Chain A
Amino acid sequence: MMRYLLNRILYAIVTIWFVATATFFAMHFVPGDPLSNEKVIPEKIYATLQAYYGLDKPLGEQYLIYMQRLLQGDFGVSFTQQNRSVNDIIAEHFSVSAILGLLALIFALFGALIFGSVASIWRRRWPDTATVLGVMVAVSVPSFVFAALAQLFIVEMNQFTGWQVLPVAGWGSISHIWAPALMLGLGTMAFLTRLLRGSLIDTADQPYVLAAQARGLPPWRCFLRYQLRNALLPTLSVMGPTIAGITTGGFVVEQVFAIPGLGRYFVQAVAQLDYTVIMGTTVFYGAFLVIVVLAFDLLYAWADPRIRISRDMT
């Protein structure tokens, strides 16, 4: 187990290094200049700016300097958000994305648990059909459509009641979070519902479930103790990428609801060629994904003895 763990950590470090290096060079090969603007800056002023950001050095040297700083945990200063360090930008805005993502995940999990169970219990009857249909819609309609519809609905609701039931957009109070979190969670909810429905149906025919039924256990107990517990394991295995995806992929929803999450800064940075922010957010997202996936793999091994044993044996 220890060796497995060390191996995984080593792989994680190599992955992050690769992401950082590939991003660094890819970004510099994109045509365009982070310092350029609609109005041309005179040559001397431009040279001063280049020297200030270290862009006057050869690319190899810039890479070494960047890596050296990265090892010390310093992402540098943003090109466009002048005077703000990338570390500050990540700290301040990722926490926003994380809160939103966490609530979205809770919505998704609860929804998946309810809809997945309902669909598997009333399999091939109307609750199942309705769930499958809903899942198909939620998976195929992009989140910005849901977000925009939800916002229109809030406007109508507020006008109808004559009361600010929910704010249309913004961030700062608990009332701001519900609508965007629900919209952000919808896609994940649909995906998890489908997964859970499938594995619940699989476990329904398993011998241990049949045995429990034969022993005369009440159906709800059979379902909760034997079926659901086992059916949750595959869900656990996708939780790593799911958590990473939902906390980092909320850009569109954040944009519609005017939420200051990190996604906006990432997308803006790419459009503006803000080198330090592109690097900082990419490395941070990469590291976050690698760590979360690793953590859930370990958790999975702990939860399911079969995996642990098979690994120890190989």
Chain B
Amino acid sequence: MIRLLALALLCLQTFTVIAGGRVTLALSTEPPSLNSMAAQDEYASFLLRHLKEGLTTYGVDGELAPGVAERWELEPTRAVFHLRRDARWHDGQIVTAHDFVYAWRRIVDPAVPSPYAYLLYPILNAEAIVNGEQAAETLGVRALDDFTIEVILERPCAYFLALTAYMTYLPVREDYVKRFGDAYAADADKQAYNGPFTLASWVHGARLQLLRNPAYWNKEAVELDAIDIDHITSDPLAVMNLFADGGIALANIGVDNLDLAPLKQFKVGSLFFLRFNFAPGRMTSDPDLRKAISLVYSPRTLVDKIIAIPGFETAGSIFPEFVSSLGIRIQERYPQPPVSMDIEKARAHLARFMQRHGLEEPPAIHLLTSDSPGAAKQAEFLQNRLQLALGLDVRIDKQIFKQRIAREAQGLFDITMAGWGPDYDDAMTFADLFASWNPNNRGGFSSAEYDALVAKAQTTLDPDERAALFNDMQILLREETALLPLYENALVYLQDPALTGVVRLRFGGDPLLTYARKLSVAEQARALP
């Protein structure tokens, strides 16, 4: 009985602490690793955004802001970062230029497996080092002194500053890597933290606890005392129940719970599109067939009736609505609405295609898709439209993740339903997707003209000129029907009304809770209308 009472008291105590500035969350998957040099998933990105800080970071407005670097000078192929003197690791050590140089050199070192090493390719010699042609010391980065970093770029790079906020560019303490070797960052106490929070505990598969970092230089901006990730589950019903019970402050919801209120939405900015197989001999390498396919359905019907999730938008270009280049939003300056439905024109294209190939019957199309219920619904919609409008026999090939990737890599498809999320804040993260040299160009689209436009945009630093180049690219892709943009996605979620100041991010680390806080009961009452 006494034990029971003690337990009850303990519960009460926890409850009062919650009101004082803690937020509890659930993650759908445990991050595979919190090693910034090896991580490549959104969960690690979210945690590392709160645990560590790079040269730049994201501010309360969601825009790029000074991080460990308090100021910088950017030239076309050279950047100098001046580090603040009060940046500290959680154990009190000073964050120095060497912590960055060490991490970056290690990432490109071919002896160390780092899947995201290519994000460092804008730096001089990075690619050559990864390919084993040069020594890691020749990487174009050096510490001029403890607080100054000089970066030499391979070529002018308009988005280099945005890259320095990404997790791959975070500083790393050499002594921790030396001490823990392969186990570096595998547990809470096996790496050093210089971000707004520290990782106080990590029980694998169960929970992670982040506490406010007293050594963080900008600790005054941090309101929350703790972020408790108490649950790791990908079961949507469990997440809903936890939210209903007041156990968690944020809950992403799927298409089944759209009747709940008040829903919030965030346009993520990922583009979903049909990717065609351009391999010689594939029917989809014929532009007339691709054009015919692009004209048979109404993008509005797909988004409003088939997907039917608020926040999703139709797409007409490879560049989603939010994408910008040197401060210019591409869709604002050069809007490219979706292709509108035109069955007559589609049939004319199909007739030309059949005539060219001497076909009597419309061909069978192999449509590769993932096994998610949403993707299946969209695939069936397209199948139905292509069958009704053109008489095409579309065979849907539903595959689980790894098998789908394998089939894409082997080119076993005519059309595949693809998605792409931005890696950094610049139109180039979408544009080079269709460059012939890009391994992510899995359909094999190849156009010398397009490659030239990409190459030119890579080195152009004039905002107007560069935006015009991106417009040329989207026009070229439209004329060739190199892809068929379907929609831009959104995240629909519930949020505890007591939690405010959550910043949503598109480029790694979402949701940003550094500037969030929990309203007290009195404040909540005042906030009510």
Contact = CB atoms under 8 A, between A and B. Distances in A.
Interface of A: 30-45, 48-49, 52, 77, 80-84, 89, 92-93, 96, 148, 151-152, 154-155, 158-159, 164, 167-172, 175, 255-261, 264-265, 268, 271-273
A96 to B, nearest CB: 8
Given A43-B439, A83-B186, A32 B405 contact: yes
A128 to B, nearest CB: 35
A45 B402 contact: no
B238 A92 contact: no
Contacts of A96: 205
Nearest to A49: B113
B277 to A, nearest CB: 16
A77 B114 contact: no
Contacts of A256: 233, 235, 237-238
Interface residues of B, number: 57
Contact of A258 (B40, B232, B400): B232
A82 B241 contact: no
B11 interface: yes
Contacts of A264: 205
B241 A168 contact: yes
Q: Is the interface of A mostly helix, strand, loop or mixed?
A: loop
Contact of A37 (B115, B232, B233): B115
A61 to B, nearest CB: 20
A255 B233 CA distance: 6
A233 B35 CA distance: 54
Contacts of B405: 32-33, 36-38
A246 to B, nearest CB: 19
B242 interface: yes
B130 A36 contact: no
Given A255-B233, A256-B235, A83 B184 contact: yes
B32 A82 contact: yes
A269 B449 CA distance: 43
B440 A40 contact: yes
A40 to B, nearest CB: 4
A31 B204 contact: no
A171 B182 CA distance: 28
A194 to B, nearest CB: 30
B285 interface: no
B182 A170 contact: no
Given A155-B245, A256-B238, A271-B400, A169 B439 contact: no
A169 B242 contact: yes
A96 B266 CA distance: 37
Consensus secondary structure, chain B interface: loop
B144 interface: no
B10 to A, nearest CB: 9
A5 to B, nearest CB: 38
A190 B403 CA distance: 38
A37 B401 CA distance: 9
B231 A170 contact: yes
Contacts of B19: none
- Which of A43, A152, A155, A271 has the largest count of B CB atoms less than 10 A from its CB? A155
Contacts of B247: 167-170
Nearest to B441: A40
B40 A37 contact: yes
A77 B32 CA distance: 12
B406 A42 contact: no
Given A92-B204, A260-B205, A260-B232, 12 more contacts: A31-B406, A33-B402, A48-B111, A77-B182, A81-B33, A82-B35, A92-B205, A159-B244, A168-B238, A170-B230, A256-B233, A259-B206
B115 A49 contact: yes
Contacts of A45: 113-115, 117-118, 130
Nearest to B185: A83
Contact of B406 (A32, A82, A170): A32
Nearest to A264: B205
A36 B406 contact: yes
Contacts of B11: 164
Contacts of B207: 170-172
A172 B231 contact: no
A36 B114 CA distance: 13
B176 to A, nearest CB: 12
Contacts of B401: 271-272
A264 B112 CA distance: 29
A93 B231 CA distance: 15
In this complex, the member of A40, A167, A265 whose beta carbon has the largest number of chain B beta carbons within 10 angstroms is A40
Nearest to B402: A32
Contacts of B205: 92-93, 96, 260-261, 264-265
A83 B232 contact: no
Contact of A80 (B32, B184, B244, B407): B32
B409 interface: yes
A52 B113 contact: yes
Contacts of B114: 45
18 contacts: A31-B402, A31-B406, A32-B402, A36-B402, A36-B405, A37-B115, A37-B405, A45-B115, A48-B113, A81-B32, A84-B204, A169-B238, A169-B242, A169-B247, A172-B203, A256-B237, A259-B206, A260-B206
Interface in B33-84: 33, 35, 38, 40
B151 interface: no
Contacts of B183: 83
B26 interface: yes
Nearest to A151: B241
A258 B241 contact: no
